[in-house]
Chains A and B, each alone.
Chain A
Amino acid sequence: MSVVADTWRYLTDPAHWTGDGGMLDLLGEQLLLSVTALALALVVGLPVALWLGHLGRGGFLAINISNVGRAVPTFALLALLVVADWPGTASFGPYGRAGLATLVALALFALPPIITNSYVAVREVPAELKEAARGMGMTRWQRFRRVELPLALPLVASGVRLALVQVWATATIAAMVAGPGLGRVITDGFYRSNYAKGIAGALVVAAVALALEGLASLGQRAVTPAHVETDPHKGGRAGAGVTP
């Protein structure tokens, strides 16, 4: 298959990696965008979801936001944000409207797994432990901070891991609406019938995705006590499912 050979040639040519608009540049762009969006989603979503879980209120919303997030195509939301007059300037450059639209869409799609998992994590701390903490005379804040939060951490971490996967996938799709990032290599290649380039881009995106997933699973293991199993997909109670 000549496409495979051409792909290899594309990947091994240093000119495609370095320089302005090279793959390393685009990789940096996409990583920066993904981390920013994830941080935004964490700042907005975590406190609300954890506290709602503590109060035991808003469960309907916290659970269903994941279902809504699954049903709305990331591509459609990105497209709508770019074609709308809001936000950003009308210029179609990578840091103009498409860049801002990407950031907003990324943060929005990172929210559901974070909110659902964090809510469920705090909610499902065993009632007898909460009761015992109350019996020991802990204040509401102490119970939240010293009992519920540590026990919830593994499931919260698995939500963050799902969000990271989601954010990376959405950031790639952003290239279909002229957004920044590595996805451009894929879309450029396919729109101009340079399939070797498109496939090379796909390989790099997939490799980085696997590396990020590996790092996230290490991080999750670090905050999980040895005897607890928190595969994000097991149990079906949290925000599991295909969302890339």
Chain B
Amino acid sequence: MTLLGQVLGAADEGPACYSRTVNEWVCADYFADRGAELVEATQQHLLITVLSVLAGVALAFPLALLARRLPRLESLLLGTATALYAVPSLALLPLLVPFTGLSMTTVVIGLALYALTVLVRAFLEGLRSVPADVVESARGLGYAPWQRLWRIELPLALPVVMAGLRVATVSTVALTTIGAIVAYGGLGNLILGGVETAFRAQLLSASVLCVVIAVVLDAVLVGLQRWLTPWARGRAA
């Protein structure tokens, strides 16, 4: 639409429902005119969330395996996780800035650390929940340690691990908004902009989208768990 067209359109229909004078919470014009912005923010939000959780899993799994062998490391790891968990996200991200600057890396590292605190516990508890006699049978059948881990212990630990993964993912979606402090917050950027200009349509749309993303990713993980553990279908989770 040209500038002239915009002016004429405004004259015809009055101010858009998201303009400052009207400022409605829900507004179709907003989606029509600013939809691209919303889509872009959603993509960034998803990217940050997925990268953080994947990094969390990639770190948590080997750490949990190590901690299982070294009880000292386990208590150190759990203590650190509890302390880290107590540090507010708005304080953790600035503390990473001297090292990684105002970048997406800062947000991903911060969120991966939070995800890690949940995931290490989930892996440890999951592996611990595998019945000892099953592991013993696998040993008796001649499974090598790596095979035992991969084909016996991990599948049986999966329900507990997946429960932790769901908690970590849903929290990460919500926490990503705080990345707005270093300008990489996905939908959080729109929320921050919405507060500064009291832009209701943008604020509400971005907030609702955050919750929708959390619910959708949670559902995806539930589906993944059902697909990975066919033997547990029909039983209560």
| A210 within 8 A of partner (CB) | yes
Partner of A210, one of B86, B97, B174, B207: B86
**Residues in B whose Cβ lies below 8 Å from that of A241:** 118, 167-168, 171
Within 8 A of A (CB), among B97-111: 97-98
- Number of A-B residue pairs with CB-CB distance less than 8 Å in the complex they form: 178
Given contacts A71-B215, A80-B204, A186-B181, contact A210 B87 (CB under 8 A): yes
Alpha-carbon distance A175/B215, docked complex (angstroms): 27
Query: Which residues on the B side are within 8 Å of A144 (C-beta)?
Result: none
Instruction: Identify which of residues 152-178 in chain B touch chain A, using a CB-to-CB cut-off of 8 Å.
Output: 160, 163-164, 167-168, 170-175, 177-178
Among the listed stretches B10-18, B36-44, B193-201, which one makes contact with chain A, having 4 or more residues with CB under 8 Å of it? B193-201
Highest count of chain A CB atoms <10 Å: which of B81, B93, B94:
B94
Interface pair B88/A242, CB less than 8 Å apart = no
Distance to closest chain A CB from B190 (angstroms):
10
Residues of B within 8 A of A231 (CB): 78, 82
- Known A74-B174, A213-B86, A236-B125; judge A205-B206 contact (CB<8 A): no
Q: Quick one: which of A167-223 are within 8 Å of B by CB?
A: 168-169, 172-173, 175-178, 183, 186-187, 189-190, 195, 198-199, 201-203, 205-206, 209-210, 212-213, 217
Check if A83 is an interface residue, CB within 8 A of chain B. yes
Q: Choose one: A4, A83, A189, A234; the contact of B200 (CB below 8 Å).
A: A83
The residue in chain A whose Cβ has the minimal distance to the Cβ of B125 is A236
A40 to B83, CA, bound (A): 25
Given contacts A199-B97, A242-B117, contact A73 B122 (CB under 8 A): no
Taking the nearest CB of chain A, how far is it from the CB of B40, in angstroms? Answer: 18
Interface of A is mostly: helix
Smallest CB separation, A145 vs chain B (Å)? 32
Query: Known: A72-B211, A73-B174, A236-B160. Is A177-B86 also a contact (CB below 8 A)?
Result: no
Q: Which residues of B contact A242 (CB under 8 A)?
A: 85, 114-115, 117-118, 167-168, 171-172, 175
Interface flag for B210 (CB, 8 Å) = yes
Taking the complex as formed, is A82 at the interface, i.e. its CB lies under 8 A from any CB of chain B? yes
| A70 on the B face (CB < 8 A) | yes
Q: Are B204 and A202 in contact (CB under 8 A)?
A: no
Known: A71-B214, A82-B195. A169 touches B88 (CB 8 A): yes
Contact of A173 among B89, B114, B164, B203 (CB under 8 A): B89
Within 8 A of A (CB), among B116-140: 117-118, 121-122, 125
Residue pair A206, B207 in contact (C-beta under 8 Å): no
In the complex, the chain B residue whose C-beta lies closest to that of A69 is B174
Q: Which residue of A lies closest to B115 (CB)?
A: A242
Q: Is A76 an interface residue (CB 8 A)?
A: yes
Check A243 for interface membership: any CB of B closer than 8 A.
yes
Task: Return B82 CB to nearest CB of chain A, in Å.
Answer: 7
Residues of A within 8 A of B98 (CB): 1, 3-4, 7, 199
Chain B residue, CB-CB nearest to A168: B88
Q: Are A210 and B83 in contact, CB atoms less than 8 angstroms apart?
A: yes
Is B207 within 8 A of A198, CB to CB? Answer: no
Expressed in whole angstroms, the Cα–Cα distance for A175 and B118 within the complex equals: 26
Confirm or deny: A140 has a beta carbon within 8 angstroms of a beta carbon on chain B. Answer: no
Does A244 make an interface contact (CB < 8 A)? yes
* Contact flag A70-B198 (CB < 8 Å), given A80-B207, A172-B91: no
B188 touches A73 (CB 8 A): yes
B221 interface hit (Cβ, 8 Å)? no
Query: Does B90 lie within 8 Å of A169, measured CB to CB?
Result: yes
User: B90 and A205: CB pair below 8 A?
Assistant: yes
A234 engages B211 (CB within 8 Å) = no
Q: List 7 A-B contacts (CB under 8 A).
A: A71-B173, A71-B218, A77-B207, A165-B86, A173-B89, A186-B94, A244-B86
Per CB-CB distance, the 3 closest pairs between chain A and chain B, nearest first, are: A76-B207, A169-B88, A213-B86
Residues of A within 8 A of B (CB): 1, 3-4, 7, 67, 70-77, 79-80, 82-83, 165, 168-169, 172-173, 175-178, 183, 186-187, 189-190, 195, 198-199, 201-203, 205-206, 209-210, 212-213, 217, 231, 233-236, 240-244
